[in-house]
Amino acid sequence: MFLFAIFLPLLSFFLCISLNRTIKDSYINILSCSLLVLSAVFSLCSIFFLGWDKQQTYIISNWIVSGSFSVDWSINYNLLTCSMVLMVNFVSSLIHIYSVGYMEHDSKRTIFLGYLSLFTFFMLILVSSSNLVQLFLGWEGVGLASYLLIGFWNHKNVANSAALKAFIVNRVGDFGILIGLFTTFMVFGTLNINEILILVNSHIDSYFNFLGLQIHSLTLIAILFFVGCMGKSAQFGLHIWLPDAMEGPTPVSALIHAATMVTAGVFLLILVSPIIEASDFSRKVIIIIGSLTCIFAASVAFFQNDIKRIIAYSTCSQLGYMFMAIGASAYNAAYFHILSHAFFKALLFLSAGSVIHSMSDEQNIKKMGGLFNKIPMTYSCMLIGSVALVGLPFFSGYFSKDLILELIYLGNSEIRLYAFFVGVLAVLFTSLYSTRLIIHVFHGKSQADEKVLAHVHESPKIMIIPLVILSIFSIFFGMLSYDLFFGYNSNILWSEHFFINTELNDKSLIDNIPMYIKKSPLIMILFGISLSFLIYYPFKQVLPFIKEKLIIVHKFFYNKWYIDEIYNFLIIRPIIYLGKGFWKSIDIDLIDTLGPNGISNFVRRFGVIVSSFQSGFLYHYALSVIIGLTLFLSLYVHIF
C-alpha cells in the first residue's frame, strides 16, 4: 500500500503524457486527480497500518554494485517517511484539483498536470529513500521537474530565464551534496542512511588530513550537506532563484513553496541530524545563515508589489526559521513547521492564484483593491492563510513558529540570543507585509482598470474547494498536533527517526520562560498590524513624503539588498568577460586559425596559385610541360 502511495503519481505522469492526444482532456484531468487523491488515501492508510514504533525497509531490487559499493533501490517505511509522504500527496492532490480550474483555458493543461505528478513523484522518492544515492536521484528529479514547470509558459522569455536560473543556482548547491556523498562514503563505507546513523558515534573523533590541515570529518560532511540545502531551500546567498520562480503558473509556485522543493533541504538535515549534532561549528553556521535569511526575506517582502513575489519571500523567511531550529538542535520543531507551513503556504499561493484569475492575470497589488466583497471566499481564505503565516494565537503558524523561537531562546548555542532577536524582528516584518498585502488587494478604493474590474468574479468551485480544505488545516493542524512534536509524546514518536534534544524537549521549561520573552512575538505581530493600518489609512497622505525622504532605504530593500547586482558585478560579468576573452584568444585566434580556418585558407590560397597556371594560352602550357619534364629528368638522373 505504501508503495502505491509513492508510485501512483508516476503512473499519473505517464498517462497524462501518453494520452495527451488520444482522449479528451476532461478524462485525463479526472484520471490524474483521482490517482493523486488515491495516493493520498494510501498514504493515510499506511500510517494507520504502520503503528507507532514499526520500521521497515522495502527492497525493490538491487541497483548498483561496484566492488564494495552496493546500493539497493529501496524504500524506508517508518513514521517520518509516512508523515512526509502523506503531506506531499495531500497538498499535491489539492493542487492538482485546483489546477484543473486554473489551467482550464491552457492548451497544454494535461501536460502541465503530468509535470505536477512527476514533481510529486520525485519528492516522494526523495523523502522515502533508504540510501543517499536514491535520495540524490529524487533531489535531482525535483530540480528537473521544477525547470519544466517554471518554464512551462516557454513563449515568455522571462519564464525561460527564470527556469534556467533556478536550474543553474541549484547546480551550485548540488555540487556540495555530491562532494558530501563522496565524503560520507569515505568516512562510513556506506551510503545507507540507517547504517550511517548507527555509525556516527564511532566517528566523532574522525579527522581528514587535507593540505596539512586537520579537518573534522563529520563537520565537513555537515557543511557540505548544508551547502546543498542552501540551494534547494533558498537560503541567503543561494536564494536568488526563488522569487524568479514565480514566472511559472501559480499552482507551480504552491507546489514548490509548500510541499516539495524548498522543504527538501530542511528534510535532509533532519534526516542526518545525528551528524549535524556531532558538529558545533556546523550548527552555528546553520543558525547564522538561517537567521540572516529570515530577516532578509521578511524585510524585502514588505517592499515588493507583486503578490506572488511577496508570498515567495515569505517562504524564504519561513525556511530561515526552520534552519534556525536545526541550528538550535530543535529538529522536532523544524519538522513541525515543515508540515504546518505546507498548509498555510499552499493556501496563500492558491488564494493568490484565485485573485490573479479574477483580475485577468494582474499581479501588482497596487492595481487592485476593494475586492473583499467581490470575491468573498478567496478573501476569507487569504485572510486565514495570512493570519496563520503571521502566527496569531490558535492558528497553525502560532504553534510551530513560536515553538521554534522558544526553543532557540532555551538552547545552549552561544548565539541563541542573537537568533532569537532576529526571529522576533522577522515576526514584525511578517505582520507588516501580510497586512499590507491584505489592505492593498482587498480593502480601500479599487485601483484596477474599469474593464478589469467589470470582469472580477469568484473562482469556480473546483478552485475554491481546495482553498477551504487548506483553510481548515491552517486553523486546526497546529493546535491538534502540537503534543505530537513537543514534549513526552514526541520523544516516543520521533526519537528513532531523528535526534531529539531531551534537555529542550520539556514543557516545564517553556512554562518557566519569562512572560515578556514568550509574548514578544505576539507584541510584534500586534504592533506590525497596527502600524500597517496607521500607514495605509490615517497617514496614507504622508507615505509618499516618507518614501521620498528615505528613498535610499526604499531602493535598498526594493532591490533585494542588491544581491543580484552584486553577483552580476562580482561573478557574472567577470565570467562573461573571461569567457569572451578565452573564446577570442584561444578558440578564434589559435584553434580556428591553426585548425579549420587555417587549413581552408591554405587550400584556397594554394588553389589560387595553381589556378594561375590555367591561363588558356598555349605557350603557358608548353612552358609548364618543359619545366615539369626538366624537373622529372633531373630527379631521375639524381636518383639513378
pLDDT per residue as tens digits for the range 411-435: 776 788 889 999 999 999 999 999 9
H helical segments located in 272-330: 273-277, 280-301, 307-327
Q: How many helices (H) and strands (E) does the chain have?
A: 31, 4
**For range 27-36, the mean pLDDT:** 90
- Asked if 224 and 257 touch (Cβ cutoff 8 Å), the reply is no
The whole-angstrom separation of Cα 597 and Cα 609 is 18
Q: Any idea where the domains of the chain sit in the sequence?
A: 279-540, 545-594, 600-639
- Buried-state track 386-425, b at ≥16 Cβ within 10 A, e below 16: bbbbbbbeebbbbbbbbbbbbbbbbbebebbeebbebbbb
pLDDT at position 125: 93
- Asked if 104 and 96 touch (Cβ cutoff 8 Å), the reply is no
Of 168-172, 358-362, 473-477, highest mean pLDDT: 473-477
Give, for 207, the enclosing helix (H) or strand (E).
strand 207-210
The whole-angstrom separation of Cα 562 and Cα 554 is 12
Give, for 216, the enclosing helix (H) or strand (E).
strand 213-216
Give, for 149, the enclosing helix (H) or strand (E).
helix 132-150
Which pLDDT band holds residue 132 (cuts at 50, 70, 90)?
A: very high
pLDDT at position 67: 74
C-alpha cell at 309: 513575489
Cβ contacts of 512-516, under 8 Å, gap ≥ 24: 513/406, 513/409, 513/410
What are the backbone dihedrals phi and psi of residue 471, each rounded to the nearest 5 degrees, phi first?
A: -65, -40
Is the pLDDT reported for residue 52 higher than 80?
no
pLDDT at position 359: 86
C-alpha cell at 15: 498517462
C-alpha cell at 229: 540545502
The whole-angstrom separation of Cα 382 and Cα 392 is 14
Give Cα 596 to chain centroid, integer Å. 45
Which pLDDT band holds residue 350 (cuts at 50, 70, 90)?
A: very high
Q: Between the CA of residue 592 and those of 577, 580, 637, what are the distances in Å?
A: 20, 15, 43
C-alpha cell at 510: 517553556
Is the pLDDT reported for residue 613 higher than 70?
no
Amino acid at 113: L
pLDDT per residue as tens digits for the range 54-101: 678 888 888 888 777 788 888 888 889 999 999 999 999 999 999 998
pLDDT at position 610: 72
What are the backbone dihedrals phi and psi of residue 156, each rounded to the nearest 5 degrees, phi first?
A: -100, 120
Is the pLDDT reported for residue 388 higher than 60?
yes
Q: What is the percent of the chain where pLDDT is above 70?
A: 96
What are the backbone dihedrals phi and psi of residue 65, each rounded to the nearest 5 degrees, phi first?
A: -135, 120
Amino acid at 251: P
Is the pLDDT reported for residue 222 higher than 60?
yes
**For range 441-468, the mean pLDDT:** 85
The whole-angstrom separation of Cα 88 and Cα 40 is 8
Is the pLDDT reported for residue 490 higher than 60?
yes
Is the pLDDT reported for residue 243 higher than 80?
yes
pLDDT at position 28: 86
Closest CA to 91 of 263, 322, 346, 265: 346
Is the pLDDT reported for residue 168 higher than 80?
yes
Task: Give the DSSP letter string of 50-94.
Answer: H-SS--EEEEEEEEEEETTEEEEEEEEESHHHHHHHHHHHHHHHH
The whole-angstrom separation of Cα 128 and Cα 3 is 10
Is the pLDDT reported for residue 448 higher than 90?
no
pLDDT at position 615: 67
Give Cα 464 to chain centroid, integer Å. 26
pLDDT at position 540: 66
CB atoms within 10 A of CB 280: 13
Is the pLDDT reported for residue 126 higher than 90?
yes
Q: For the chain, what is the mean pLDDT? A: 87
- Asked if 313 and 304 touch (Cβ cutoff 8 Å), the reply is yes
**Bigger pLDDT: 613 or 560?**
560
* Residue carrying the nine cell digits 534537555: 503
Strand partners, 65: 70
Which pLDDT band holds residue 319 (cuts at 50, 70, 90)?
A: very high
How do strand 213-216 and strand 207-210 relate by DSSP bridges? antiparallel
CA atoms within 13 A on the CB side of 130: 20
**For range 613-635, the mean pLDDT:** 76
The whole-angstrom separation of Cα 195 and Cα 54 is 17
